[in-house]
Amino acid sequence: MEHKPKATSTIKFLCSYGGKILPRATDGELRYSGGHTRVLAVDSSLSFSELIAKVSGLCGYSVTLKCPLPNGNLETLISITSDEDLRNIIEEYDRASFSLTHPLKIRIILSPLKKLSPSPSSSSSATHSSSGSPCNSFESPPYAVARQFIRRNCSPAGIKMVTVTAR
């Protein structure tokens, strides 16, 4: 028998915003650091556009939504961009919650919506957000890990050479 939530049921989202995804120093596992995390309870029939309006109001700016899979880590985030994506992630969390006494809260990582530049050949403003700060692309996990590696292995006097071989 397939588990289906009632039409009037409430879904709770853990909405994290204003922080960064960084590796934990002890084991390198990714964690959300800084910023805010708020619980948002909504009707399960909420559409994607209604959810976007609610979470944008929560954090004060237009956002993109990404979710880890249930019982997953922050290595793989699923982009939520439509009603279908939202239904699919809710179904995944419903399946993972089926045998639990309380349903899992759906974790959402909110990122500011980036404005696209008019053309790739335009000036260096293409690498800056509307606030004038560098885009978050350099804050994504691979870049954050690379920066940590460089800080640990490079000194102001010179750079260590590291050889990496593919297997």
Per-residue pLDDT tens, the chain, 167 aa: give them. 444 444 448 899 999 999 999 998 898 889 999 999 999 999 989 999 999 999 999 888 999 999 999 988 888 899 999 999 999 999 999 999 888 888 889 999 999 987 655 555 444 444 443 444 333 444 445 545 554 554 554 444 444 444 455 54
Is CATH 3.50.50.60 what the domain over 10-114 is classified as, yes or no? no
Two structure tokens written together for 139: 């804050």
For the chain, the straight-line distance linking the first and the last C-alpha, in angstroms and rounded, comes to 46
Token reading at 9? 């049921």
**CB count in 10 Å sphere of residue 86:** 22
What 3 state SS string does 62-112 have? CEEEEEECCCCCCCCEEEECCHHHHHHHHHHHHHHHCCCCCCCCEEEEEEE
DSSP three-state, residue 149: helix
